[in-house]
Amino acid sequence: MSVNKVFISYSRKDSAFALTLAQEVRAAGVDIWIDQLDIHVGDLWDVSVENALTNASCVLVILSPFSIASNNVQDEIAFALDSDKRIIPVILEECTIPFRLRRWMHIDFSKDFQEGFRHLMAALDQPAIVQQKVLQFAGKNIAPTEHYLDRMTSSQNAVLAKSAIAALEKQERSDHPKPQLKAEQAIAKAKHTRKLISKTYIIVCSVILVLAAMSWMIVLMNVSKKETVSMTHTSASNLVASFDPQLFPAYIFSTEGKQAVHTTEVTASLITTSAPENILTKNESASTIKNDAPVKSAPGSKTNKSLLSIGQSLKGGVIIYVDSTGEHGIIASEKELGSMNFEAAIKKCLSFKSGGDDDWRLPSKEELNMIYEYRSFFAYISPGMYWSSTEVDKNTAAVQNLYDGRAGGFNKGMSCNVKPVRNF
């Protein structure tokens, strides 16, 4: 039988296979629904799943040791059975098939993806597509009607098989189709040629525009460099011309604020772009001063060797926030604690110890977004959603994908990745 909407039920640990299968089935023209593609930012996970199940006419269940142990998958199977929906079990790995699904014919993907996909397409075929395939088989000289009937009944499409066989027999009784007239062939060939010319013209124009844009950018960059060099030389000349030792205090400081030299020993020729140590002469004395002004560091940089900055490694984690003093903030652990439900995630973070500290916790949704913003500083980020400690309601908590930034709410019973944080 044909289907209108197919809901894909799977375990989160089988996400990679489920997503690949969904994309292939959708590319084949089947209307499918899967949470990874069809739940958008801001949507509630449990509400979206329930609506999709209600509107689906068929439920495709991916069976593996993980899915048969998943409460969510079992709930979706029960909902489909209670609603008299068609179920197609897909075997990903060898496992004990749930009792209520054993009476349904299953499709095996555990050995050959292409073979399994072919059987799945046969089970999801529309009537017009089946008849088209019959004609294709006829063109390949598959004469025995009974052999093709065996193929169709094996895919549980007996009604479609009969109509397809009728189409095949009708074609076998008919005369050879009339050849296309030469004029029609010429017109079709001319249309095809025009399309090729149009596509070629568009591609050539696009390449020319890209090259022109790149050339213009190179010119602008060269002009900008020349202007910068000119401004630097002008500024240096102005400094030399306006330098007057009488206008400065008894001592001036180098660019790092650590060394001092007497103004009477400095000449205009020393005001250059060279390193700070070139300012001191052999007989000059130096003293160390303290810079007390607090500065908030930009990501990946330091304004003072004693201050901390975002992206710096510290006690088993990476700094994702620094306050105005440059001495306090928040670090996120480099270590991933695995995938688990919301309550387990909170307990796992509270019991986590790293860098000699045991005050780790589950991040808020704001702190989770900071980790996403500075994700390039971490050696590894797991694919999928991460838990935050921010609760949407009593059954839902905020989550975020640290790969693409998608955020939303997940049921607390779902499994998500965990990365703890702590204050320092």
pLDDT at 230 (0 to 100): 58
Distances (CA, A) of 127 to 7, 130, 155: 21, 5, 13
**pLDDT tens across 171-201, in order?**
544 444 445 566 788 888 888 898 889 889 8
Distances (CA, A) of 97 to 19, 74, 152, 241: 22, 12, 25, 88
CA distance 389 to 391: 6
Q: Is 281's pLDDT higher than 60?
A: no
Q: Which residue has the higher pLDDT, 160 or 398?
A: 398
If you average pLDDT over residues 215-228, what whole number do you get? 80
Q: Which residue has the higher pLDDT, 248 or 105?
A: 105
Q: Is 128's pLDDT higher than 80?
A: no
pLDDT at 249 (0 to 100): 43
Q: Which residue has the higher pLDDT, 107 or 3?
A: 107
Is residue 30 exposed (0-12), middle (13-18) or buried (19+ Cβ within 10 Å)? buried
Query: Are the C-beta atoms of residues 81 and 100 closer than 8 Å to each other?
Result: yes
CA distance 352 to 100: 41
Query: Are the C-beta atoms of residues 366 and 350 closer than 8 Å to each other?
Result: no
pLDDT at 232 (0 to 100): 54
Q: Which CATH superfamily is domain 313-423 in?
A: Mannose-Binding Protein A, subunit A (3.10.100.10)
pLDDT at 367 (0 to 100): 96
Q: Is 52's pLDDT higher than 50?
A: yes
Q: Which CATH architecture has domain 6-124?
A: 3-Layer(aba) Sandwich (3.40)
CA distance 193 to 175: 32
Range picked from 43-57, 124-138, 262-276 for highest mean pLDDT: 43-57
| E strands, 257-384, in order | 260-262, 313-314, 317-322, 329-333, 339-340
pLDDT at 189 (0 to 100): 86
Q: Which residue has the higher pLDDT, 301 or 7?
A: 7
Average pLDDT, the chain: 76
If you average pLDDT over residues 374-384, what whole number do you get? 92
Share of the chain above pLDDT 70, in %: 66
Query: Are the C-beta atoms of residues 41 and 401 closer than 8 Å to each other?
Result: no
Q: Which residue has the higher pLDDT, 183 or 245?
A: 183
| E strands, 248-316, in order | 251-253, 260-262, 313-314
Query: Are the C-beta atoms of residues 72 and 18 closer than 8 Å to each other?
Result: no
Minimum mean pLDDT among 98-102, 190-194, 221-225, 355-359: which range? 221-225
pLDDT at 206 (0 to 100): 93
Residues 6+ apart with CB under 8 A from 158: 152
If you average pLDDT over residues 84-98, what whole number do you get? 92
Distances (CA, A) of 214 to 210, 211, 219, 223: 6, 5, 9, 14
Is residue 391 exposed (0-12), middle (13-18) or buried (19+ Cβ within 10 Å)? middle
pLDDT category, 81, cuts 50, 70, 90? very high
